[in-house]
Amino acid sequence: MAAEVKPIPNAIPSPHAAEEEDLREHLMFDPRPREEMNRMVMDSMTHTTPRYWIVVGILAVLTAVLLYGVWGYMIFTGIGISGERRPNYWGIFIVSLVFWIGISHAGTFVSAILRVFKAEFRRPFTRAAELMTTFGLAAGALWPLIHLGRVWVFYWMIPYPNARWLWPNFRSPLVWDFMAITTYLLSSTIYLYLPLLPDLAMARDRTKGWRHVVYKFLALGWRGTEAEWFRLRKAINIFAIAIIPVMFSVHTIVSWDFAVAQTGGWNSTIFGPYFIIGAILSGVSAVVTILIILRATLKNMDYFIRLEHIDALGKLLLVFSMAWAYFFFNDYMVSWYGGSEVVRTILTFHASGPSAWIWYVMLLCNVAIPWLTLWSKKLRRTPWLMLIVTLGINVGMYFERYTIIPITLGHQRMPFDWGEYTPRLPEISLALGSLCLFMLLYMLASRFIPMVPVWEVREGQEAHQLRKVGKTVVPSVSELE
């Protein structure tokens, strides 16, 4: 094949005008001057409407009342006001913990894995995903504390010599959880911060007053020297590679909270990968939800976040939905085939007991709806539909955890000890409150942190060229590192 390789900087010769128009749809082939992109991102941070502050105010009040108010009330009165009682000692608190830790997997997946594999479409939305990881973990880390009941003694989990002769048991998955979540929270926060340095410097150079002071401090004196870029690349590469196994370990350890117990329906060797796939499915869905909302509400975001990105993530979602279904069926099949009466009873109960609707909604949201919609490019490029599908997946994933935890726990070996779990108002309030906290943190961050890594977008645009092959031009990407 005779291929003439010739970079065409900004435009394609007129015979290819139609192809040029098609390619302009892609952010990488629709470059704008860096100054303009900087201004667009700064505008998105500084442009606030009264509606924004009203929503922030409502979320702040809801967080204060539904989360902290009710939590305070529960601390004062005791954990007995929740619906957790024998045999369901784990309910909404642990369901929400698993849900939020799962959500937090998206940032690492989208940012680190796609970075390592050089998936170019990731560039404009890595930060939105990384922020989700940090705030998801912040929301998730509350739940073990809430579940403790006597939260004021939480520091007993920390290993230090003490007069009580109490010491954490490092052979317990609950202590592994504490270590894994701490490691993941710290490393993902740093992983959010490192690529932010050049953008903080950009913000520092364009602001005055308190914002300037804060950005100046956070930018660490970034100037953009060769040495600084070199260091940044090295550090990001180390983080991108090292944080991936940490991410896998976190949800595996969360799954071991269940799998190492001799509890029917939990004692499964496949729980680790099953939980990881579920976490990625739920996290990537949440990224799509957030991108659609950012695109619709944040100024200038429609330039950076385009239908091509929703489309690409939609394809990923379809793959993860299929993978989740595979692991779900695998777990179900082996447990059912094993012939354990207890497990069979639990599985039958999931599909036909009084809470069966939860099981069916889970399958509908996680399998049926994604499979019926996400195969279609047209549907993947319809934002309102993707919003519904991705919200649905997260409802489905919440219900999956609900099925695994209280419903399974309530129907163990001794039928006389079976019990239905019904979450009470404080638990529902706390769950909604943590959602409000997440949204509040995200909304506030969107006005303070540049939501698009402009330098990464610009780098990507530099790397993309058009290559003339025969009678047509095709996109090509250069390796700039």
Which residues form the interface with other proteins (CB under 8 A)?
9, 33-35, 38, 159, 161, 165, 167, 169-172, 175-176, 179-180, 182-183, 186-187, 190, 193-194, 198, 201-202, 204-206, 216-217, 219-235, 238-239, 242-243, 245-246, 249, 253, 455, 458-459, 462, 480-481
User: CB-wise, 77 or 476, nearer to other proteins?
Assistant: 476
Of the two residues 183 and 267, which places its CB atom closer to other proteins in the complex? 183
**Omega within 30 of 0 (cis) for the link into 87:** yes
Q: How far is the CB of 353 from other proteins (least distance, A)?
A: 31
Instruction: Report the residue number, 218 or 445, with the smaller CB distance to other proteins.
Output: 218
Whichever of 200 and 347 has its CB closer to other proteins, that residue is: 200
CB of 215 to other proteins, least distance (A): 10
Instruction: Select 217 or 375, whichever has its Cβ closest to other proteins.
Output: 217
Q: What is the distance between the alpha carbons of residues 469 and 456, in angstroms, rounded to a whole number?
A: 28
The enclosing H or E element of 3 equals strand 3-4
Report the nearest approach of other proteins to the CB of residue 32 (Å): 10
Question: 92-103 and 226-259 helices cross at what angle (nearest 10)?
Answer: 150
Residue 41 Cβ vs other proteins, minimum distance, rounded to whole Å: 11
CB of 177 to other proteins, least distance (A): 10
Sheet holding 3-4, edge to edge: 3-4, 464-469, 472-477
Work out how close the CB of 284 gets to other proteins at its nearest, in angstroms, rounded to a whole number: 23
Torsion over CA: 72, 77, 81, 84 (sign): positive
Specify the residue, 185 or 365, whose C-beta has the smaller distance to other proteins.
185
Closest distance of CB 459 from other proteins, Å: 5
Burial of 87 (0-12, 13-18, 19+ CB in 10 A): middle
Contact 139, 437 (CB under 8 A): yes
Nearer to other proteins, 233 or 315 (CB): 233
Compute φ and ψ for 465, nearest 5 degrees. Answer: -140, 165
Two structure tokens written together for 336 = 């059912």
Q: Which two tokens stand for residue 348?
A: 């039958």
Q: How many CA atoms lie within 13 A of 79 on its CB side?
A: 16
